[in-house]
């Protein structure tokens, strides 16, 4: 099997002997998973463990008049039936706001609805029983009387005076609003040779992690301690929140995260039904397990996207882009999700639109409104797929309008590769990007001219193929600017502790977590390289708030860039500590020594002096033989947080080649390419697979995925037959390439790569469809997902 | 979700199965392949008191030739039909349709009888049997009877099966030399229930077709015969056949596509399926 | 004659098991909850994701669309069994080397499905691999790496004549 290491070597400080940086090392933890020996939260069982199932509101908005649990409590196996007011005695409510998103407001949310259900699927009563099946049996007997209330579902009318206000105390249904006006937008449009204006619509998505959300909470009254087995991306954040809302010290809460069956941002939020589980465990003094089943996942896992963006671009006949303008509107459900808020996606759209281009004139307005649907919040590539599709959709429409090649208009306007450091009109700061180098590489990889020739030839035969592009930028390695400055206790820094064991191997404890991205492999590669051992001599421990340094976890493409740098620095520090021990044993100056492949060697000659196993033996068991007053320090901890830039931006470009069946409106994806620049590539294979997986999630957005609601707030396709996730048959092969512009903010130089694929894929599939249909005079498609019906209507085949 | 509690009985004979069905008239369901039923049980969309498992009735399984008919036992797994040389030769329409049904693991377990009795309006097999002029053999408390596929599908998930009836076999006239068939469907993803699909048979008539049978699925409560289009197609007028579909089928909006799109796609399918049949060589 | 609870005897990964099960219990819940075979996963419970794929009497089935009580007298094999016998060790290694799994939740089902394909089609095309795996949902990989791994094993097996 060929593994392509398509990475130019630009390594310097990282270029240590036997370095693993830049190598496609297989992940060390995979055999466990291929053999079915993983340990997911859904697999956890504990003595006396009970299962909870929830009675959920069938109404999008209703007053809870009365709940009668009498019959349910009599059912065999039932331990308790608990309503919102009863549980509120154990756990306090929360409000999802951040102070740096000025004006963002929300209402208090409880673990179980108190007197009102605000979306279809909100839990109104918990039933705890010996088995999940028995809990469900009893749920069926809980009598709930509802009084239906007016529902708010359409964001377009949510702010109208005649519309019911969901939370009366807030005064209106506006959660957040932001405006930006930079440069001279009106003058720029007035002076443009052409202006293109259209409206983009993005479907409401959900993550559909293969393992649903799962949590086991174990309150031990004897220890006065809560242990939570939780499929989460941010164990320390959850430790803080569980403690805060149960009235405990953080030291009384331990969060353990073992294998997680997919996350994608779904598992980085506070879910009411999960908060209820920790409260139920405290209330009932025994372990309680909750696994969301697929049906309840669809109406409770956060949703995302669902934006309507009116957008406008101005362009000169030579291709110069003169201005961008957007007006964005989104409905985020009845509550801003805690603690990251539901204003971030809209905020990112304002920040990111137009971002790849050197265009000084930009106006943006966004409104985030409350409605009676499931909550929306951050999901993989937050805001990026929307900003990218708006920007790249406008750019290709503008190119078509002035008769310019879509690559030429990009060459004309993309920020020059030698212009850095620079920024965007919206105020983003770019350290070093490579839009033009990436575009050049993509053109070669896809054999662009041959593909265009094939496209033209096939058109003569009535076969309509399209080629679409999307240049993109991606926010990675967030500093405290993302959440910390807004008051949320979400760590921006991460730590790594590395210790030498008694046989000369090392153990890394890291604050970042593993949900399949390969964070453990990356930490192992970095630590092995920094310290000087084979990767087989490294063990990585993640996901345990008792045993890892305080950290943020894995989200926003931060694990490799931030967690990796902490591991690099810790590895270097431990090397110095161990060389101090070796120097004292060998009567040599530590700076003349190095560690290579588990041997202490002369740095200059590479001559082996003493093995790490022997150093460890002496340090741990015969310290009496070391010089008086010398203390071996065989554990080192380092922390890291980006400081020079609020975010480490990456960039790249994608291309899609597809065929539209103009009779049926069906789209066949033929091939997909992505060139991206995430700085130093620690593991090319892992980066490529992040890109590929992300691309397919983006294709899901473009063609398939959408939570369909009716006007009464009922989700109509909340199952896997009707909510269409991408499956193997319809997906294309995806070719990846890299350009490397390391960040100087860290020694490692690594930026994130987890969201690039998802950011760009919807835009380039959209552009490819429009490219295919342009010769037929079809109206441009800008309303995702692009179903056969929408394509047929654009072609005028169906009215 | 987990199913609501139910009892389970494994029938040792057809008569026993029929007897068990009579014990609790409202709350009994037959368990064949279970690939639709168990999903509905898991979601508590169906809460029977008793399941009567007929997977042990080997006499209901298998494919055999009976003079000019192919007889497929109701409990024959879909994978067996997909791989059967007899099916490929004598009922090639089924061989064309089978790969579109769900996925390999489902076809390993799902049965032809289960699919017919469940009668999902978007399923492939009911339409195929309609196109094939199949007969459905039924055993009940008052003995055996045979119902033509055209008469079997009564309404949405509703068939000619009575509460104590067991579907035992399907009889299909074997394909003659002039037999032509075509199958196609539009599904967003391989194995999904179709937005709209078409199973068709005809006999060659020179360069044209006669005895055309067009059975659409996904466009109504049952498989829907497009009788005006059948006539037009037999008359060699494909355009008229497509145009007359508006009088033959009346699809409804669903969560995937609206009625107009389905109506249009039905026409596209007709052209493609007609092409399959006219281009086929015996 | 009928009962909410039934006694069943079956072999699971070669071991004879006798248990009393609720009639309503699915095969995958029985394997996971009663036998501790947690390698088979529950992803959707309505037959769409394929995470619960196990072998029943030699063919792959959905563990969520089969009742445990139906498996009286049957032979059931799970990823744990295949791992212990080494039957698909080459596929497992290929998945690991090619990073054809990320979170790993779909992987046992994916492996059993791929193993069945390679038993009937020695060197399937990439398209045929994609078709055969079309009922197994993976949110992480985008499928490309999985197709690569299965294709590589197919070629290796064909080349070595096994």
What is the predicted pLDDT for the residue at A2? 36
DSSP string, A544-588: BTTTS-S---S-TT-IIIIIHHHHHHHHHHHHHHHHHHHHHHHTS
Band (B281; pLDDT cuts 50, 70, 90): low
pLDDT at A734 over 80: yes
The CB-side HSE value for A239 (13 A sphere, CA atoms) comes to 28
Q: For position A765, what pLDDT does the model report?
A: 98
**pLDDT tens digits, C59-109:** 999 999 999 999 999 999 999 999 999 999 999 999 999 999 999 999 999
Secondary structure element (H or E) that encloses residue A330, with its range: strand A321-331
Residue B188 lies in a domain: yes
Nearest to B43 among A295, A664, A666 (CB): A295
Confidence of residue B26 (pLDDT cuts 50, 70, 90): confident
User: For B204, phi and psi rounded to 5 degrees?
Assistant: -65, 140
Q: Is A190 contained in some domain?
A: no
The answer on pLDDT for A233 being more than 60 is: yes
Contact predicate A474/A651, CB 8 Å: yes
How many residues are recorded in chain C?
Answer: 162
C21 contacts on B by Cβ (under 8 Å): none
How many residues would you count in chain B? 282
- The more confidently predicted of residues B25 and C98 is C98
Q: Residue A278: name the closest of A74, A128, A140, A136 by CA.
A: A128
Range of the domain at B118: 62-173
A97, A53: one domain: yes
Judged by CB atoms closer than 8 Å, whether chains meet at A36 and C108 is answered as yes
Facing B9 at nearest CB: one of C2, C132, C135: C2
**Predicted confidence (pLDDT) at residue A361 exceeds the cutoff of 90:** yes
Chain segment A579-631, per-residue pLDDT in tens: 999 999 999 999 999 999 999 999 999 999 999 999 999 999 999 999 999 99
Res A13: pLDDT: 61
Fold match, C5-82 / C88-160: no
Q: Over chain A, what is the mean pLDDT? A: 96
Beta carbons of A697 and C78 less than 8 Å apart = no
- Contact of A136 with chain B, judged by CB distance below 8 Å, is answered with yes
Residues A89 and A218 in one domain: yes
**Chain A contact set for B264 (CB, 8 A):** 792, 797-798
Tally of structural domains, chain A = 3
A76 touches chain B (CB under 8 A): no
Burial of residue A161 (number of CB atoms within 10 Å: 0-12, 13-18, 19+): exposed
Taking contacts as CB-CB distances below 8 angstroms, the residues of chain A near C145 are: 689, 692
Mean pLDDT to the nearest integer, A189-211? 98
* Residue A481 vs residue A597, higher pLDDT: A597
Structure tokens at A332: 């985020």
Nearest residue in chain A measured CA to CA from B102: A721
Same domain, A756 and A774: yes
Q: Is A405 inside a domain boundary?
A: yes
Let me know whether B190 and B257 are in one domain: yes
- DSSP H/E element including A308: strand A307-315
Residue C124: pLDDT over 90: yes
Same structural domain for residues B102 and B163?
yes
Cα separation, C109 vs A614, whole angstroms: 45
**A471 within domain boundaries:** yes
The CATH number given to whatever domain includes residue B34 is 3.30.43.10
B88 and B46 in one domain?
no
Q: Find residue C9's DSSP bridge partners.
A: C18
Is residue B139 included in any domain, yes or no?
yes
Same domain for A636 and A524: yes
Give yes or no: residues A235 and A101 share one domain. Answer: yes
What is the number of domains present in chain B?
A: 3
Whether residue B2 is contained in a domain is answered as: no
Q: Helix (H) and strand (E) counts for chain B? A: 12, 14
Which one of A716, A721, A788 has the shortest CB-CB distance to B261?
A: A788
Average pLDDT over residues A53-72: 98
Minimal C-alpha gap between B48 and chain C (Å):
11
For position A346, which CATH number holds?
A: 3.30.365.10
Look at residue A654 and give its three-state secondary structure: strand
Residue B90 domain flag: yes
Choose one of B147, B173, B199: the last residue of a domain.
Answer: B173
Please indicate, yes or no, if residue A22 is contained in any of the structural domains: no
pLDDT tens column, A157-170: 999 999 999 999 99
- Closest alpha carbon to B268 in B247, B248, B242: B242
Over residues B69-89, the pLDDT tens digits come to: 999 999 999 999 999 999 999
Q: What is the CATH number of the domain that holds A228?
A: 3.90.1170.50
Q: What is the pLDDT of residue B211?
A: 98
Instruction: Say if CB A278 and CB A87 are below 8 A apart.
Output: no
Confidence at residue A9, expressed as pLDDT on a 0 to 100 scale? 44
- The sheet that has A608-611: what strands, in order across it? A593-596, A599-602, A608-611
**Residues A247 and A319 reside in one and the same domain:** no
B92 and B159 belong to one structural domain: yes
- What's domain C88-160's architecture? Orthogonal Bundle (1.10)
- Enumerate residues 137 to 166 of chain A having a beta carbon within 8 A of any beta carbon in chain B: 137, 140
* Alpha carbons A609 and A628: distance in angstroms, whole number: 22
- Determine which helix (DSSP H) or strand (DSSP E) holds B42, and give its type and residue range: helix B37-42
Of A673, A605, A662, residue with least CA distance to A793:
A662
Measured between CA atoms, how close is C143 to chain A, in angstroms? 6
Contact list in B for residue C64 (CB cut-off 8 A) is 38-39, 42
Work out the widest C-alpha separation in chain B, in whole angstroms.
60
What is the sign, positive or negative, of the torsion defined by CA atoms of B84, B88, B93, B96?
Answer: positive
Asked if A728 lies within 8 A of C41 by C-beta distance, the reply is no
- Asked if the model's pLDDT at residue A3 lies above 60, the reply is no
Q: Determine, for residues C101 and A30 on separate chains, whether the beta-carbon distance falls below 8 Å.
A: yes
Distance between CA atoms of residues B173 and B201, nearest Å: 12
| Domain end residue (candidates: A640, A661, A685) | A640
For residue B21, give the nearest of B197, B179, B141, B134 by alpha carbon. Answer: B141
- What are the chain C neighbours of B104 within 8 Å (beta carbons)? 60, 113, 116-117, 132, 135
CATH of the domain at B271: 3.30.390.50
Same domain, A288 and A367: no
The set of residues, in sequence order, having a beta carbon less than 8 Å from that of C64 and lying 6+ positions away, is B38, B39, B42, C26, C27, C28, C42, C44, C45, C46, C47, C52
From chain C residues 40-79, the ones with a CB under 8 A of any chain A CB are 40-46, 48-49, 51, 78-79
The CATH homologous superfamily to which domain C5-82 belongs is: Beta-grasp domain (3.10.20.30)
Indicate if B117 and B188 belong to the same structural domain.
no
Mean pLDDT, residues A63-88: 98
Say if B133 falls within a structural domain.
Answer: yes
B250 found inside a domain: yes
| Residue numbers of the domain that contains A100 | 41-149+212-260+267-300
Instruction: Give A5's pLDDT tier (boundaries 50, 70, 90).
Output: very low
Residues from chain A that touch C130, judged by Cβ atoms under 8 A, are: 728-729, 731
Test A259 with C104 for CB contact under 8 angstroms: yes
% of chain B at pLDDT higher than 70: 99
Percent of chain A surpassing pLDDT 70: 98
Segment A288-309 shows an average pLDDT of 98
> Are B139 and B212 contained in the same domain?
no
Residues A145 and A273 in one domain: yes
The answer to whether residues A240 and A251 touch, using CB atoms and an 8 Å cutoff, is no
- In terms of domains, do A634 and A658 share one? no
**pLDDT value of position B25:** 66
With 90 as the cut, is the pLDDT of residue A325 above it? yes
Does the structure show a pLDDT above 50 at A7? no
Pair of tokens at residue A638: 């380092």
CB contact under 8 A, A210 and C139: yes
pLDDT for residue A8? 44
Task: Assess whether B163 and B240 both reside in one domain.
Answer: no
Does the ipTM exceed 0.90?
yes
- Give the A:C interface size as CB pairs under 8 Å: 186
Using an 8 Å CB-CB cutoff, list chain A residues near B260: 789, 798-799
Token pair for residue A448?
Answer: 């662009």
Co-location of B186 and B268 in the same domain = yes
Q: Exposure of A222 by Cβ count < 10 A (0-12 exposed, 13-18 middle, 19+ buried)?
A: exposed
Q: Are residues B45 and B82 in the same domain?
A: no
Question: By the CB < 8 Å criterion, does B187 face chain C?
Answer: no
- Within this chain, do residues B16 and B119 fall inside the same structural domain, yes or no? no
Provide the residue ranges of all domains of chain C, joining segments of one domain with +.
Answer: 5-82, 88-160
CA distance C101 to A314: 44
């Amino acid at each position: 099997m060929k593994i392509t290491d398509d990475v130019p070597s630009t390594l310097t400080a990282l270029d240590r002997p036997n370095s693993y940086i830049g190598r496609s090392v297989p992940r060390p933890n995979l055999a466990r998973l291929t053999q079915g020996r993983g340990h997911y939260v859904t697999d956890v069982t504990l003595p006396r463990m009970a299962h909870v199932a929830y009675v959920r509101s069938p109404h999008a908005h209703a007053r809870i008049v009365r709940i009668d649990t009498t019959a349910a409590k009599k059912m065999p196996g039932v331990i308790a039936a608990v309503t919102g007011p009863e549980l509120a005695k154990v756990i306090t409510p929360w409000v999802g706001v951040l102070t740096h998103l000025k004006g963002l407001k929300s209402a208090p949310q409880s673990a179980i609805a108190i007197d009102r259900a605000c979306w279809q699927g909100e839990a109104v009563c918990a039933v705890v029983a010996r088995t999940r099946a028995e809990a469900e049996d009893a749920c069926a007997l809980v009598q709930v009387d509802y009084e239906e209330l007016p529902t708010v579902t359409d964001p377009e009318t949510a702010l109208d005076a005649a519309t019911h206000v969901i939370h009366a105390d807030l005064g209106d249904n506006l959660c957040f609003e932001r405006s930006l006006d930079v440069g001279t937008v009106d003058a720029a449009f007035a002076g443009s040779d052409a202006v293109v204006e259209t409206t983009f619509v993005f479907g409401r998505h959900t993550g559909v992690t293969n393992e649903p959300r799962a949590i086991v909470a174990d309150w031990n009254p004897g220890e006065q301690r809560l242990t939570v087995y939780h499929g989460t991306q941010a164990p320390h954040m959850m430790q803080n929140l569980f403690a805060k809302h149960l009235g405990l010290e953080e030291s009384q809460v331990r969060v353990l995260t073992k294998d997680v069956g997919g996350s994608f941002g779904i598992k980085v939020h506070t879910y009411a039904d999960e908060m209820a589980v920790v409260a139920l465990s405290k209330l009932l003094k025994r372990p309680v397990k909750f696994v969301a089943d697929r049906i309840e996942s669809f109406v409770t896992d956060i949703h995302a996207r669902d934006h309507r963006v009116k957008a406008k671009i101005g362009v000169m006949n030579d291709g110069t882009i003169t201005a961008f303008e957007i007006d964005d509107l989104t409905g985020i459900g009845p509550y801003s999700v805690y603690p990251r808020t539901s204003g971030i996606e809209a905020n990112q759209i304002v920040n990111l639109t137009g971002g790849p281009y050197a265009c000084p004139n930009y106006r943006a307005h966004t409104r985030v409104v409350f409605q009676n649907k499931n909550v929306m919040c951050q999901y993989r590539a937050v805001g990026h797929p929307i900003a990218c599709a708006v920007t790249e959709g406008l750019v290709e429409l503008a190119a078509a309008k002035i008769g310019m090649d879509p690559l030429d208009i990009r060459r004309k306007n993309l920020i020059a590769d030698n212009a850095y450091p620079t920024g965007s009109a919206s105020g983003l700061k770019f350290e070093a990007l490579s839009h033009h180098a990436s575009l050049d590489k993509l053109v070669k990889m896809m054999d662009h001219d041959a593909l265009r020739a094939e496209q033209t030839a096939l058109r003569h035969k009535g076969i309509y193929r399209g080629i679409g592009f999307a240049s993109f930028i991606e926010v990675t390695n967030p500093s405290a600017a993302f959440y910390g400055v807004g008051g949320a206790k979400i760590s921006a820094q991460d730590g790594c502790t590395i210790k030498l064991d008694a046989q000369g191997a090392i153990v890394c404890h890291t604050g970042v977590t593993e949900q399949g991205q390969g964070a453990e492999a990356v930490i192992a590669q970095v630590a092995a390289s920094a310290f000087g051992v084979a990767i087989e001599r490294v063990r990585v421990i993640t996901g345990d708030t008792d045993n890892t340094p305080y950290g943020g976890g894995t989200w926003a493409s931060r694990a490799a860039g931030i967690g990796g740098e902490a591991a690099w620095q810790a590895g270097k520090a431990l090397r110095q500590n161990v060389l101090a021990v070796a120097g004292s044993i060998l009567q040599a100056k530590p700076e003349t020594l190095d560690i290579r492949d588990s041997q202490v060697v002369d740095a200059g000659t590479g001559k082996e002096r003493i093995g790490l196993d022997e150093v460890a033996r002496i340090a741990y068991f015969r310290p009496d033989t070391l010089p008086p007053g010398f203390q071996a320090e065989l554990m080192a901890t380092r922390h890291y947080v980006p400081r020079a830039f609020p975010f480490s931006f990456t960039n790249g470009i994608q291309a899609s080649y597809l065929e539209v069946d103009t009779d049926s409106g069906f789209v066949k994806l033929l091939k997909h390419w992505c060139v991206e620049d995430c700085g130093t590539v620690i593991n090319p294979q892992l980066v490529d697979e992040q890109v590929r997986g992300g691309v397919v999630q983006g294709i899901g957005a473009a063609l398939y995925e959408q939570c369909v609601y009716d006007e009464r707030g009922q989700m109509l396709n909340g199952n896997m037959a009707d909510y269409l996730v991408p499956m193997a048959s319809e997906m294309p092969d995806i070719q990846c390439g890299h350009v490397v512009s390391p960040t100087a903010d860290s020694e490692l130089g690594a930026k994130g790569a987890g969201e690039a694929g998802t950011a760009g894929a919807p835009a380039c599939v959209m552009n490819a469809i429009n490219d295919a249909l342009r010769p037929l005079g079809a109206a441009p498609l800008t309303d995702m997902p692009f179903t056969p019906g929408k394509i047929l209507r654009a072609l005028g085949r169906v009215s | 979700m987990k199913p609501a509690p139910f009892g389970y009985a494994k029938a040792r004979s057809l008569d026993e199965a029929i007897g068990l069905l009579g014990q609790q008239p409202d709350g009994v369901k037959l368990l064949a392949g279970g690939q639709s039923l168990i999903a509905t049980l898991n979601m508590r969309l169906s809460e029977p008191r008793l399941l009567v498992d007929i997977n042990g009735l080997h006499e209901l399984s298998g494919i055999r030739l009976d003079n000019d008919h192919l007889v497929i036992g109701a409990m024959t797994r879909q994978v067996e039909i997909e791989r059967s040389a007899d099916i490929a030769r004598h009922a090639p329409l089924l061989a064309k349709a089978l790969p579109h049904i769900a996925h390999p693991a489902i076809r390993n377990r799902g049965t032809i009888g289960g699919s017919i009795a469940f009668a999902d309006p978007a399923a492939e097999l009911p339409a195929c049997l309609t196109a094939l002029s199949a007969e459905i053999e039924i055993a009940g408390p008052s003995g055996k009877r045979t119902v033509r596929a055209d008469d079997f599908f009564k309404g949405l998930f509703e068939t000619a099966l009575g509460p104590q009836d067991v579907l035992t076999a399907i009889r299909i006239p074997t394909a003659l030399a002039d037999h032509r068939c075509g199958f196609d469907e539009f599904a967003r993803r391989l194995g999904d229930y179709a937005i709209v699909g078409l199973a068709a048979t005809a006999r060659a008539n020179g360069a044209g077709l006669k005895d055309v049978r067009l059975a659409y699925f996904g466009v109504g409560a049952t498989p829907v015969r497009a009788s005006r289009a059948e006539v037009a197609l037999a008359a060699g007028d494909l355009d008229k056949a497509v145009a007359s579909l508006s009088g033959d089928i009346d699809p409804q909006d669903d969560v995937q596509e609206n009625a107009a799109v389905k109506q249009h796609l039905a026409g596209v399918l007709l052209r493609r399926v007609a092409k399959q049949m006219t281009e086929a060589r015996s | 004659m009928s009962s909410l609870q039934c006694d069943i005897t079956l072999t699971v990964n070669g071991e004879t098991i006798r248990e009393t099960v609720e009639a309503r219990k699915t095969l995958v819940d029985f394997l996971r909850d009663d036998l501790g075979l947690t390698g088979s996963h529950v992803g959707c419970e309505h037959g769409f994701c394929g995470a619960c794929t196990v072998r029943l009497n030699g063919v792959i089935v959905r563990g969520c669309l089969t009742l445990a009580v139906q498996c009286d007298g049957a032979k059931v094999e799970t990823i744990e069994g295949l791992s212990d016998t080494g039957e698909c060790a080459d596929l497992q290694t290929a998945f690991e080397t090619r990073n054809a799994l990320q979170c790993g939740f779909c992987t046992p089902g994916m492996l059993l499905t791929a193993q069945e394909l390679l038993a009937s089609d020695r060197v399937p095309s990439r398209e045929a691999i994609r078709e055969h795996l079309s009922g197994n949902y993976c949110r992480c990989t985008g499928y490309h790496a999985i197709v690569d791994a299965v294709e590589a094993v197919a070629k290796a097996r064909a080349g070595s004549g096994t």
